[in-house]
């Protein structure tokens, strides 16, 4: 099938490459020349495990073309996916201007009387797709066009997105047109997974509901970690005992410094706004957002409780700045925010992240921050170690040896990567999240 992808961010680029891998003829468009030039050269504008090799292969095999030519791109695709960004605007609502711009441009270049399906993969609030339809028509002007709109939300996680695309738990497609849904099913039918066919609004809401539910799970276990700290229970034991119940499941029960990234904070906020706009006060979500904010502060308070709020005579080794492991992304990273808070309190920071150093530098600059070239290097002559991202390589360091390089053996573990007993054995004063001391 001929497929066009508008927008080469995480969702667009990964989906395009995976569709090409499945045998489709894909054309990816971006309005940023530099991005397309990079992709053509096989250099990825984002870091994603296995993406460079995959794009390189499908480009060589001739099934993946990158372009900035809107007309060519729109004419190419029987199915045209909108994968542009929907960042939060100042009020917390999803900024849909890129989606509507793309829809209008699609309308402008849609060939006359040639049936096409326009699909939104970008996460958009309920009922946006009706406006997408209008924008396409507006772009087409008086031209006679024949198209349907489908919502096909994306559930990819950064870091594992290629695997996720091939092993998705479900495919959701929503439209009022059976013909359009049939066409979409063609793309996904080889996957051994359930295809949920629904109306437009339900498909749009499924994405928000799923992300908000997962964020709720994280805030829930983070709240439980607070009870643990106040009662002597251990959050890892509690999470394990809860997660073995099949109705609950073990995933997304890791207590930490709170959720971040380009999706959860934005989507939870946007769903809360959608509900307010529809005259419903979604109090549970308000609580989820508040708990997430508090969790970060509680962690910083552990550091303040030990050293006071003026940290100007302290140097901290920091492991991790990405919003989670296996990504270079620092958007809405709680780790990054905590580094900023510590620096704001006067601390000097020795920082290392396996993938996000470039983005960290862009965001943090050089004041009070030394960028180290290995995990080991952050231990040298620091007053405490602060772990902020759940990279597995941080869990397997030789702490017995490395902590001897520190001024003081103090570890604040914001991701519960280490075990309190083991740290105690090697003489480390250890602070985790909701971990019992005995």
Q: Which stretch binds ligand UDX (CB under 6 A): 196-204, 226-234, 255-263, 391-399?
A: 255-263
β-partners of residue 267 are none
Query: 330: which DSSP letter?
Result: -
Q: Which residues, 388 to 417, sit near ligand UDX by CB under 6 A? A: 390
Per-residue mark of binding to ligand UDX, 49-88 (x: CB under 6 A): ----------------------------------------
Q: Which residues, 1 to 30, sit near ligand UDX by CB under 6 A? A: none
Q: Which stretch binds ligand UDX (CB under 6 A): 148-156, 186-194, 349-357, 425-433?
A: 148-156
Residue 98 makes contact with ligand UDX by CB under 6 A: no
Distance CA 244, CA 252 (A): 13
Residue 188 makes contact with ligand UDX by CB under 6 A: no
Alpha carbon of residue 155 to chain centroid: 10
Residue 211 makes contact with ligand UDX by CB under 6 A: yes
CB of 10 to ligand UDX, least distance (A): 8
350: closest CA among 320, 323, 329? Answer: 320
24: closest CA among 3, 6, 46, 55? Answer: 3
Distance CA 290, CA 296 (A): 10
> Which residue minimizes CB distance to ligand UDX?
263
CB of 71 to ligand UDX, least distance (A): 31
Residue 324 makes contact with ligand UDX by CB under 6 A: yes
- How does 208-222 read in b/e, with b if 16+ C-beta sit within 10 Å? bebbbebbbbbbbbb
2, 8 in Cβ contact below 8 A? no
* Cα torsion angle, 187, 189, 191, 194, sign: positive
- Of positions 208, 220, 259, 352, contacts ligand UDX by CB under 6 A: 259
Active site (annotated) includes residue 263? yes
- How does 47-85 read in b/e, with b if 16+ C-beta sit within 10 Å? bbbebeebbbebbeeebbbbbeebeebbbbbbbbbbbbb
Q: Which residues, 215 to 234, sit near ligand UDX by CB under 6 A? A: 218
Indicate which residue of 28, 83, 228, 263 is catalytic.
Answer: 263
Residue 156 makes contact with ligand UDX by CB under 6 A: yes
The residues annotated as belonging to the active site are 263
Interacting residue ranges for ligand UDX, rule: CB under 6 A: 154-158, 211, 214, 218, 252-254, 256, 259-261, 263-264, 323-324, 390
């Amino acid at each position: 099938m001929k497929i066009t992808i508008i927008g080469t961010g995480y969702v667009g680029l990964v989906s395009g490459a995976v569709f090409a891998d499945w045998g489709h003829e894909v054309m990816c468009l971006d309005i940023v020349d530099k991005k397309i030039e990079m992709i053509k050269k096989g250099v990825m504008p984002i870091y994603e495990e296995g993406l460079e090799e995959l794009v390189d292969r499908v480009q060589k095999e001739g099934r993946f073309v990158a372009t900035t030519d809107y007309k060519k791109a729109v004419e190419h695709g029987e199915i045209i996916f909108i994968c542009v960004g929907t960042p939060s605007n100042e009020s917390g609502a999803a900024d849909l201007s890129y989606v509507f711009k793309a829809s209008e441009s699609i309308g402008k270049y849609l060939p006359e009387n040639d049936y096409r399906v326009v699909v939104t993969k970008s996460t958009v609030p309920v009922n946006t797709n009706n406006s997408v339809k209008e924008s396409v028509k507006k772009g087409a002007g008086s031209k006679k066009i024949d198209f349907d709109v489908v919502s096909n939300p994306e559930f990819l996680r950064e870091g594992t997105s290629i695997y996720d695309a091939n092993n998705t738990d479900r495919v959701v497609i929503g439209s009022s047109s059976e013909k359009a849904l049939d066409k979409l099913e063609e793309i996904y039918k080889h996957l051994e997974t359930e295809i949920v066919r629904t109306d437009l609004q339900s498909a749009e809401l499924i994405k928000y509901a799923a992300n908000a539910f997962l964020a709720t799970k994280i805030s829930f276990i983070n709240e439980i970690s607070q009870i643990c700290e106040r009662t002597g229970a251990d959050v890892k034991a509690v999470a394990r005992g809860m997660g073995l119940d099949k109705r609950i499941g073990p995933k997304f029960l890791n207590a930490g410094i709170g959720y971040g990234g380009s999706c959860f904070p934005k989507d939870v906020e946007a769903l809360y706004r959608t509900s307010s706009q529809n005259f419903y006060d979604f109090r549970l979500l308000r609580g989820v957002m508040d708990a997430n904010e508090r969790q970060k502060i509680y962690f910083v308070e552990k550091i303040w409780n030990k050293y006071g709020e003026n940290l100007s005579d302290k140097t901290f080794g920091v492991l991790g700045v990405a919003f989670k492991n296996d990504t270079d992304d620092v958007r809405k990273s709680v780790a990054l925010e905590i580094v900023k808070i510590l620096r704001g309190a006067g601390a000097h920071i020795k920082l290392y992240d396996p993938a996000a150093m470039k983005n960290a530098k862009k965001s943090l600059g050089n004041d009070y921050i030394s960028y180290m070239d290995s995990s080991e290097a952050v231990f040298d002559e620091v007053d405490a170690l602060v772990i902020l991202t759940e990279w597995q390589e941080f869990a397997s360091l030789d702490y017995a040896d490395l902590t001897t390089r520190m001024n003081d053996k103090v570890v604040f573990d914001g991701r519960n990567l280490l075990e309190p007993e083991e740290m105690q054995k090697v003489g480390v004063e250890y602070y985790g999240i909701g971990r019992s001391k005995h």
